[in-house]
Structure 1
Amino acid sequence: MNTPASTPANLIVPGQADVQHLLQDAVTEQGYPGVILGVGDGTQQWFAAEGVADTATGSTRTADEQFRVGSITKTFTATLVLQLAAEHKLSLDDTVEQWLPGLVQGNGHDGSKITIRQLLNHTSGIFAYTLDSGMLERYWSPKLLEHRFDNPTPEDLVKIAVSNPADFEPGQSWGYSNTNFVLAAMIVEKADGVSFAEAIDRRIARPLNLSGTYAPGTETGFRGPHGSAYSRLMIPDADAPVHDVTEQSPAWAFGVGELVSTAADLNLFLAALLKGCLLPAAQMEEMFTMTPVPDGKWLDGYSYGLGISSVTLPSGITVYGHGGMITGTWSYLYGTRDGDLVTVQNVNGDWGMPPVGLFIDILDAAFRPAA
């Protein structure tokens, strides 16, 4: 078990032995190069790692290494929107058309009927641009190697979405769509008068002293110490070649899955959010108004609020947060509703599609009440 000396390991985790076995199995049985778990209670933390950060050097994974967090970005984006709502710079009842005139139109899409709230809770009915046939070919197949440095604009991504038929009438169903959060991030820029990256830095990263957290935009590398990310290019065969995809442009995941962060930073962010340090009470109530996700629509057994989800663990504890995937990595960030116990997990390989069972087992062991 790798527990870096630079990270305090003085938090008592009742299920620590089970956690260690699960982390070991992630490497030895499921073939991930490396896996990390950070558990924090606001004042103390426990960090554990198995495997390696880089298969070439054999370097150890650490709590301060940067990695791409995938859709955990959505919780950050929703927090920005709700902060702007609290400042009366926008309303959750505003329509997309009010902020982005003419952008969401065609094939059953009508931005004048879609509210910002419906973007954040995935009831807009807007087609997910990541499910477009061209996007699937470019980013979810071996052709990724030809396209991982492409830099589509947010407008490009929305145009791809509305070139497909809408999934349903706004407010009439639920459907996880990455397009929702591209639009939400674009509205943040309009309402705040700064770039999405600056809004993340000024409103969240700097106030919380998250020194390893930022929105990279079209940057293909990292600004600090980091591990490597590995992909089988969506080939399900366990013997498929593994490619180093550490260097890539996350422009195709604007506001959706682009953020870079660290285990230590993510635990601090989620604890602050859950404790009400980032949002006033009214916006917290909006964010945590949870609706059960219909079976087969996303992750069965989960509920979704505004950019945040919840799930009840086998032990009976309900946790709140978000998972995330971007090429080369999977992550999971969840905590108790009071923010007194939060965890972050990451594997630096993108197979498993997704490894939710592994993450849930680790969560359950880490959050298990002491006997």
Structure 2
Amino acid sequence: MDERHEDLERIPDWLEHELADKPDVHANVARPFLHWFLLRRARQRAAIRRHPASADRDLRRRVSVAYLVGGGGAQGLTHLLVAGVGGTVVLFVRIASPRAETRKGLRGRVVTSLLPHPSKRRAARFGQSYQCPGRMWWEWTKRAVSASPKLLRSRAGRDAVQKLDGSDQLNKLEEVGAWLRRRLPDLLVESQVPGAAVAVQAGDEWVESAAGVLSTATGVDATVDSLFQIGSITKVMTATLVMQLADEGRLDLDAPVRAVLPEFRIADEEAARGITTRHLLSHVAGFEGDIFTDTGKGDDCLEKYLGVLRDVPQLFEPGAMFSYNNAGYCVLGRIVEVLREEPFDVCARRHLFTPLGMSHTASDPYEAIVHRTAVGHIETVPGAPLEPTPVWALARSNAPAGSMLAMRARDLLAFARMHLAGGRGPDGVTVLGPETVQAMQRPQVTLPDIDQGAAWGLGWELFDLSGGTVIGHDGNTIGQSAFLRLVPERDVAVAIVTNGGLSRRVYTEIAGRVLGELAGVGLPASPVPDVGAPVAETSRYVGTYTSSTAETTVSRDTAGRLWLERTPRGAIAELDEAPYRTELVGRRGDTLIPVEPERGVHAPLAFLGDDGQGHALYLHTGRAERRAQR
């Protein structure tokens, strides 16, 4: 067998020669292929050393499967590479037999059994290309490369394996996938989460898993193709649509919003004149952001939504600090509509979902109904069993902020992959400029000390973690939560979608394992309150803080302890969201932490600013709630 494949040591040189006039194939396929090939040969070589007889039989079996050539025999076939770029597959065959008749037979009848379906099997000739299902080329490559481990017996082969950066990542990914399939069902039960799906990517490979049910009312099982709402992760997609317009020279991020939307109004006219697209992208515009007014289901809902903002108060000067702003992203969605002259959901499908191959997405209930789709679950009374939500989604007028969009976890990874690949789609087409991709990941504003990210970019939340920088976004809508994390330096991403319960626990365990195993990044420990930690200057925090969705009162009892009571208002109250009450204890400086968890999380909150009388002006939980005037 070694004599049969004696020139395998020259595979790298051969590839350089054969692919010299095919730079896309060489860059995107040949190198990853060689990484896999060398690693696989190293493992097979070790197996042969341990069990020579059985390993040799296994190798012969693999050769017969991979090189089925219809009677021509495998004696002269040194190497076959099934290379793919996007959906196109190209066969490269290396013939080493000195017998002309063998070369002729092999060249005409290579891998007739490797096509995806028996009805499509046919002979393939040298250099022939044709279309195939998206990932089939990789499976073919793995089946086709079953030659001798001779290459790894050379010093050059051993050195190549040692130098490969992340050459064991594929093996780790497979281990992560096996762990997910074992662990996810039990983790959901422990976390009281009805159903979830997870997709993990490392390089061009991915694994996925799903467990639980889509609705406790119907008992329909969750699958990897099930759709879950991604909530505010939609904002990164909205930001991407905006940045595409900037790439095209049609939008200046630092020009006032009124340059595109002259009708943009809020209660503070001076602020309205100065707010820019960059302010909106990075959540520093400063006006009240949780405006969930339903302006109808028509294509004019965003246009009407702008009129709702006329009386919205300004909380602070534009650019002064971070405060999460849903309404700002609805304004961004309207900018996209005006410049593209199409409804927002049409723009998203035309400029993102279709070029990225995101086939399992739904922009509204009418699209969701044709898929297996999750329903959210909430507690209507603290401690009560979870119940399916009374409505599936929020208003269409909030779609650019995340009120409706649903997709499977794997499609969310397809979007993440584009950002990891410098803005390129699966077929190599540029969806977003590489410099623009980098610009979105640069910090625009730092966040308060509330155990969230370190900063915010143009759409992305930025995390400075042990082992590297992570970008991502979370999404929470009616009884559903989603989490997306990317490690650009390691080409790793994880998407987690859930439909209720203690979803943060699911995220913490899965993301912790995935990012640690595949990217060497450690998640920080979840904050835990020290029930004895004192709170200095309690009078600074006492008072009532309001927003359009909640009224939060901080009070002090006779023993000097601080208590927080939050009562839902507006659209959130209409969804039967439960009130929340907890004691507050000290954490760091003006950052306090609740003793009682909310949805399983002890989320710190910061008291910022000064009202001129020694009291905090804002209660900050990611959103700035302003102290109510007495």
Q: Same-fold call, TM > 0.5?
A: yes
Map 1:167-316 → 2, pairs under 5 A: 167-216=315-364, 219=365, 222-232=368-378, 235=380, 237-240=382-385, 242-245=387-390, 247-248=392-393, 250-257=395-402, 258-276=404-422, 277=424, 278-291=431-444, 293-295=446-448, 300-313=452-465, 316=467
Q: Return the letter of the residue paired with 2:248.
A: E
Which moved further from structure 2: 239-248 or 263-272?
Answer: 239-248
- The structure 2 residue matched to 1:320, chosen from 461, 471, 475, is 471
Q: CA deviation at 1:228?
A: 2.8
Distance 2:211 2:362 in 1: 26
Contact 1:96 1:114 survives alignment (8 Å) = yes
The structure with the larger Rg is 2
CA distance in 2: counterparts of 1:311 and 1:56, whole angstroms: 38
**Cα-to-partner distance string for 1:294-314 (whole Å, 9 max, x where unaligned):** 2267x534421111112245x
In the other structure, the counterpart of 2:195 is 34
Among candidates 256, 261, 264, match of residue 103 of structure 1: 264
Matches within 5 A, 1:337-348: 337-338=488-489, 340-348=491-499
For CA contacts below 8 A with separation 6 or more, give which structure has more relative contact order.
1
1:12 to 172, 177, 201: 172
Matches of 2:460 and 2:338, distance apart in 1: 23
Asked if structure 2 preserves the Cα contact closer than 8 Å seen for 1:228 and 1:244, the reply is: no
Distance in 2 separating the partners of 1:339 and 1:163 = 46
Between the aligned residues of both structures, percent identity stands at 26
1:47 to 198, 201, 208: 208
Aligned residues: 342
Q: 1:306 to 1:45 in 2, by over 3 A?
A: same
Q: Secondary structure at the match of 2:349?
A: helix
In 1, the alpha carbon distance for the partners of 2:183 and 2:383 equals: 19
Question: CA distance change for structure 1 residues 59 and 335 in 2, over 3 Å: closer, same or farther?
Answer: same
Counterpart secondary structure, 2:494: strand
Per-residue Cα deviation, 1:86-136 (whole angstroms, up to 9, x for no partner)? 101111112111111132232466332011111101111121134xxxx5x
* Structure 2 SS opposite 1:180: helix
User: TM-score, normalization: structure 2?
Assistant: 0.49
Q: Which residue of 266, 279, 295 corresponds with 1:118?
A: 279
Tell me the amino acid that sits aligned with residue 443 of structure 2. M
**Contact between 1:196 and 1:215, CA under 8 Å: does it hold in 2?**
no
Q: In structure 2, what is the Cα distance between the partners aligned to 1:25 and 1:166?
A: 46
Alpha-carbon spacing, 1:255–1:364, altered in 2? closer, same or farther (3 Å): same
Confirm or deny: 8 A CA contact 2:280 2:328 kept in the other structure.
yes
- Deviation at 1:231? 2.6
- Distance in 1, Cα, partners of 2:446 & 2:363: 28
In the alignment, what sits opposite 2:9? none
Q: Which residue of 2 aligns with 1:83?
A: 244
SS in 2 for 1:208: coil
Distance 2:444 2:209 in 1: 33
Q: Distance in 1 between matches of 2:277 and 2:398?
A: 19
1:146-199 CA distance string (max 9 Å, x none): x9x965933454444442321211111111100111010100011112211121
Q: Give the Å deviation of 1:319.
A: 2.0
Distance in 2 of aligned mates of 1:58 and 1:12: 33
Q: Deviation of residue 342 (structure 1)?
A: 1.2
Residue 172 of structure 1: SS of its match in structure 2? coil
Counterpart in the other structure of 1:127? 288
| Cα distance in 2 between the residues matched to 1:73 and 1:223 | 19
Amino acid aligned to 1:83: Q
**What's the offset of the Cα at 1:256?**
0.7
Does the aligned pair in 1 maintain the 2:279–2:285 contact within 8 Å?
yes
Asked whether the 8 Å contact 1:11–1:45 carries over to 2, the reply is no
| Cα distance in 2 between the residues matched to 1:16 and 1:184 | 37
In 2, distance between residues paired with 1:320 and 1:307? Answer: 10
Aligned to 2:131: none
The separation in 2 between residues aligned to 1:262 and 1:115, in whole angstroms, is 33
Unaligned 5+ runs, structure 1: 1-5, 139-146
Once the two structures are TM-superposed, the CA of residue 262 in structure 1 deviates from its matched residue by 1.3
Q: How far apart, CA to CA, are the structure 1 residues paired with 2:507 and 2:248? A: 36
The one-letter code sitting in structure 2 at the alignment partner of 1:262 is: R
State how far apart, in whole Å, the 2-side matches of 1:238 and 1:21 are: 29
User: RMSD of aligned C-alpha atoms?
Assistant: 3.1
Letter in 1 for 2:333: A
Other structure's SS at 1:319 match: strand
Task: Name the CA distance, whole Å, in 1 between partners of 2:464 and 2:198.
Answer: 19
Checking the alignment, whether the CA contact within 8 Å between 1:11 and 1:40 is kept in structure 2 is no
CA gap of 1:166–1:188, structure 2 versus 1, over 3 A, is same
- Residue pair 1:221, 1:248 contacting (<8 A) in 2 also: no
In structure 2, distance between residues paired with 1:339 and 1:203: 27
Is the CA contact 1:246–1:328 (under 8 Å) kept in the aligned structure 2?
Answer: no
Which residue is equivalent to 1:335?
486
Distance in 1 separating the partners of 2:494 and 2:386: 31
Unaligned runs of 5+ in 2: 1-134, 140-169, 425-430, 521-630
1:102 aligned counterpart, secondary structure: coil
Separation in structure 2 between the aligned mates of residue 21 and residue 167 of structure 1, nearest angstrom:
48
